[in-house]
Structure 1
Amino acid sequence: MATPERLIEATRELLWERGYAGTSPKAILQRSGVGVGSMYHHFDGKAGLARAATERSAQELMDAAEAHFSGPGPATRRIASYLLRERDVLRGCPVGRLAMDYDVVENPRLRAPLDELFGWLRTRLADLVAEGRSAGEIDARLDPQAVGATLAAVVQGAYVTARSAESTEPFEAAVRGALQLIGYEEEC
Structure 2
Amino acid sequence: MSSAERLIEATRELLWERGYAGTSPKAIQARSGVGVGSMYHHFDGKAGLALAAMRRSAQELKEMAEAHFSRPGPAGRRIASYLQRERDVLRGCPIGRLTMDFDVVNNSDLRAPLDEVFAWLRSRLADLVAEGQESGEFRAELDPQAVGAMLAAVVQGGYVMARSADTAEPFDAAARGALSLLGLRVPQHA
TM range (shorter): over 0.9
- What residue identity is the alignment partner of 2:111? R
Equivalent residue pairs, number: 187
**Offset at residue 62 of structure 1 (A):** 0.2
Q: Which residue of 1 aligns with 2:177?
A: 177
Q: Which residue of 2 aligns with 1:106?
A: 106
**Offset at residue 141 of structure 1 (A):** 1.1
Determine the C-alpha separation between the residues in 2 that align with 1:186 and 1:90.
22
Determine the C-alpha separation between the residues in 2 that align with 1:183 and 1:48.
45
**Offset at residue 156 of structure 1 (A):** 0.1
- What residue identity is the alignment partner of 2:146? A
Name the SS for the 2:22 alignment partner.
Answer: coil
- What residue identity is the alignment partner of 1:165? A
- What residue identity is the alignment partner of 1:123? S
Determine the C-alpha separation between the residues in 2 that align with 1:154 and 1:75.
18
Deviation digits for residues 25-64 of structure 1, max 9, x if unmatched?
A: 0000000000000000000000000000000000000000
Deviation digits for residues 105-135 of structure 1, max 9, x if unmatched?
A: 0000000000010000000000000000111
Name the SS for the 1:111 alignment partner.
Answer: helix
- What residue identity is the alignment partner of 2:81? S
Given that residues 180 and 186 in structure 2 are in contact (C-alpha distance below 8 angstroms), is that contact kept between their aligned partners in structure 1?
no
**Offset at residue 185 of structure 1 (A):** 1.8
Determine the C-alpha separation between the residues in 2 that align with 1:94 and 1:151.
18
**Matching of residue 11 in structure 1 with residue 11 in structure 2:** yes
**Offset at residue 186 of structure 1 (A):** 3.6
Given that residues 83 and 155 in structure 2 are in contact (C-alpha distance below 8 angstroms), is that contact kept between their aligned partners in structure 1?
yes
Determine the C-alpha separation between the residues in 1 that align with 2:141 and 2:29.
53
Deviation digits for residues 133-186 of structure 1, max 9, x if unmatched?
A: 111111111100000000000000000000000010100000000111111124
Q: Which residue of 1 aligns with 2:138?
A: 138
Determine the C-alpha separation between the residues in 2 that align with 1:50 and 1:11.
6
Determine the C-alpha separation between the residues in 2 that align with 1:184 and 1:51.
38
Q: Which residue of 2 aligns with 1:65?
A: 65
Q: Which residue of 2 aligns with 1:97?
A: 97
- What residue identity is the alignment partner of 1:9? E
Name the SS for the 1:104 alignment partner.
Answer: helix
Given that residues 99 and 114 in structure 2 are in contact (C-alpha distance below 8 angstroms), is that contact kept between their aligned partners in structure 1?
yes
Q: Which residue of 1 aligns with 2:152?
A: 152
Determine the C-alpha separation between the residues in 1 that align with 2:120 and 2:183.
23
- What residue identity is the alignment partner of 1:142? L
Q: Which residue of 1 aligns with 2:164?
A: 164
Determine the C-alpha separation between the residues in 2 that align with 1:156 and 1:125.
14
